């Protein structure tokens, strides 16, 4: 019988997942794969509905170009549209027509059916779809009035949905944290001083506290410096985390990875491990930021990046939808060697950027190839770089 979400990918075989495969494979359950497929489809339908909300249904029916849609719009509209149109092609809702795009027949835009399929096989994830609905309902002034995406998407109404998304019980977010944890746990020496960048809702710190206590390695952490650029995240973490993860020696600090870390109180060669989960790709100048991060690490220290990874730079992944409206994600300095475009990077682009920044060696958990060639929807990885 055909699944309402279309074909659901099979999990990868253990031999593709590297030495930590036995701990990674249990992440890739049937509910994970269903939710992953549903998220991509829901994002695509939401994207097309947004284009209809903006009044472009007839234009798309007749066929139009990126330039055609951008006519008369604020300049900031171009980057998200340049992402959405090929993404909609990849999801079969639009088709290419020369340089243009046109609706692919009468597209199925049913959202309730996707939610129902997920409720059956991966219950408890409606909030992921609420976030997508929230983005669609709030983002129109970004196109019509040139309003900043950040202020539209991080308002009081949506903030709880973001917090609910960045959780360890979200099957599609958890892999970022678990893969980073597997990398961190390896070679964790006594008296390790850890700094987390963009620690946000604190889901990684919680996982470290919980797994470290269960597995007996938590006492090896001498300090866990929880940092973020956003005061709202820091205040919330300061209130909640100390009681939730009592064994974790927490310190809190505002930290912007786009400003010199030394000016913000992080001394050179003072940290053993720097963690960044889905944050370092927003570095305005990746080369400068990575060099600065390396210089804060003691010799032999590690930078561990839990990142969404793209199988190739021209392959849009659904997770980019939210972020394509956020200036820090789109307005970054490009370099043809490792960052030819904004957004998430490929594993090879990270390798290149980290080596160029002077890291001695770089390793990924799990090894990204051939895994991502055979399973292009496996989008998470932890990249460890040794100073
Ligand atoms: C995708 S979220 C990751 C959240 C976090 N790992 C969690 O599980 O809750 C990215 C985080 O990076 C932070 N961030 C964005 N720009 C930053 C910057 N320039 N420096 C430091 N943190 C930043 C955001 O405030 C947000 O908390």
Interval 183-222: pLDDT, tens: 999 989 999 999 999 999 999 999 999 999 999 999 999 9
Answer yes or no: are the C-beta atoms of 173 and 167 closer than 8 Å: yes
CA 226, CA 223: separation in Å to the nearest integer? 9
> How many A from CA of 37 to the centre of ligand 1?
25
For residue 275, say if its preceding peptide bond is cis, omega within 30 degrees of 0: no
Instruction: Indicate the CATH number for domain 174-386.
Output: 3.40.50.150
In 208-270, at which residue ranges do the beta strands (DSSP E only) sit?
221-228, 250-254
Tokens of 60: 């798309």
What pLDDT, in 10s, does the model give residues 114-148? 999 999 999 999 999 999 999 999 999 999 999 99
Nearest CA to ligand 1 atom 11: 198
229 neighbors 198 (Cβ within 8 angstroms): yes
Residue among 223, 211, 224, 222 at smallest CA distance from 185: 211
Closest residue to atom 12 of ligand 1, CA basis: 198
For ligand 1, atom 25: residue with the closest CA? 230
Encoded tokens for 59:
């234009």
Cα 93 to ligand 1 centre (Å): 32
Sketch the domain layout of the chain as residue ranges. 18-165, 174-386
Query: Which residue reads 């330039």 in tokens?
Result: 67
Return d(Cα 98, Cα 63) in angstroms, integer.
10
Tell me if 316 sits within 8 A of 83, measured CB to CB.
yes
Determine the distance separating the centroid of ligand 1 and the alpha carbon of 2, expressed in angstroms. 39
Reference 319, options 215, 189, 175; nearest CA is 175
CA–CA gap between residue 370 and residue 348 (Å, rounded): 12
The helix (run of H) or strand (run of E) holding residue 108 is none
Task: Give 85-136 as a 3 state SS string.
Answer: HHHHHHCCCEEEECCEEEECCCCCCCCHHHHHHHHHHCCCCHHHHHHHHHHH
Helix axes 30-53, 126-138, angle to 10 degrees: 20
- Using the mean position of ligand 1's atoms as its centre, give its distance from the Cα of residue 208 in Å: 17
For the CA of 177, the nearest atom of ligand 1: 8
- Give the model confidence (pLDDT) of 328-372 as tens digits: 999 999 999 999 999 999 999 999 999 999 999 999 999 999 999
Residue reference for tokens 């088709």: 95
- Is it the case that residue 16 has pLDDT exceeding 70? yes
Closest residue CA from atom 24 of ligand 1: 198
Calculate mean pLDDT across residues 13-38: 96
Pocket of ligand 1 (CB under 6 A): 166, 197-204, 228-230, 233, 255-258, 277-279, 282, 328
Confidence (pTM): 0.96
Q: Is 312 helix (H, G, I), strand (E, B) or coil?
A: coil
- The Cα 250–Cα 228 span in angstroms is 14
The answer to whether 140 and 152 are in contact (CB under 8 A) is no
Tell me the CA–centroid distance for residue 197 and ligand 1, in Å: 7
Ligand 1 centroid to Cα of residue 1, in Å, is: 42
Contact 382, 305 (CB under 8 A): yes
Ligand 1: which atom is nearest the Cα of residue 258? 19
């Amino acid at each position: 019988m055909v699944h309402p979400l279309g074909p659901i990918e099979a999990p990868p075989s253990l031999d593709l997942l590297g030495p930590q495969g036995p701990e990674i494979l249990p992440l890739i359950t049937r509910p994970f794969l269903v939710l992953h497929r549903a998220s991509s489809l829901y994002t695509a339908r939401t994207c097309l509905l947004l284009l209809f909300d903006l009044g472009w249904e007839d234009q798309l029916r007749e066929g139009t170009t990126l330039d055609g849609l951008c006519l008369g719009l604020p300049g900031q509209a171009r980057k998200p549209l340049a992402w959405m149109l090929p993404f909609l092609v990849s999801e079969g809702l639009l088709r290419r027509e020369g340089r243009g795009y046109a609706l692919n027949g009468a597209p199925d835009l049913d959202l309730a059916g996707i939610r129902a399929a997920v409720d059956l096989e991966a219950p408890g994830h409606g909030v992921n779809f609420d976030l997508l609905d929230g983005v669609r309902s709030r983002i129109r002034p970004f196109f019509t009035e040139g309003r900043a995406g950040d202020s539209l998407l991080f308002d009081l109404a949506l903030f709880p949905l973001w917090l609910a998304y960045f959780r360890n019980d979200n099957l599609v977010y958890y892999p970022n944290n678990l893969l980073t944890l597997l990398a961190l746990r390896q070679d964790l020496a006594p008296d390790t001083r850890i700094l987390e960048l963009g620690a946000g809702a604190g889901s990684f710190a919680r996982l470290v506290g919980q797994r470290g206590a269960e597995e007996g390695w938590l006492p090896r952490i001498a300090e866990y410096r929880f940092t973020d650029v956003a005061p709202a995240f820091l205040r919330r973490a300061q209130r909640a985390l100390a009681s939730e993860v009592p064994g974790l020696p927490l310190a809190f600090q505002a930290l912007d990875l786009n400003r010199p870390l030394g000016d913000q109180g992080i001394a050179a060669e003072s940290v053993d491990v720097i963690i960044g989960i889905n944050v370092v790709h927003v570095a305005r100048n990746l080369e400068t930021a990575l060099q600065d991060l390396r210089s804060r690490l003691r010799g032999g220290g590690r930078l561990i990046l839990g990142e969404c990874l793209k199988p190739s730079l021209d392959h849009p992944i659904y997770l980019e939808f939210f972020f394509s409206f956020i200036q820090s994600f789109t307005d970054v300095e490009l370099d043809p060697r490792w960052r030819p475009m904004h957004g998430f990077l490929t594993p090879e682009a990270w390798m290149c950027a980290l080596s160029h920044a002077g890291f001695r060696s770089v390793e990924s958990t799990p090894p990204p190839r051939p895994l991502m060639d055979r399973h292009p929807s496996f989008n998470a990885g932890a990249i460890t770089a040794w100073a």
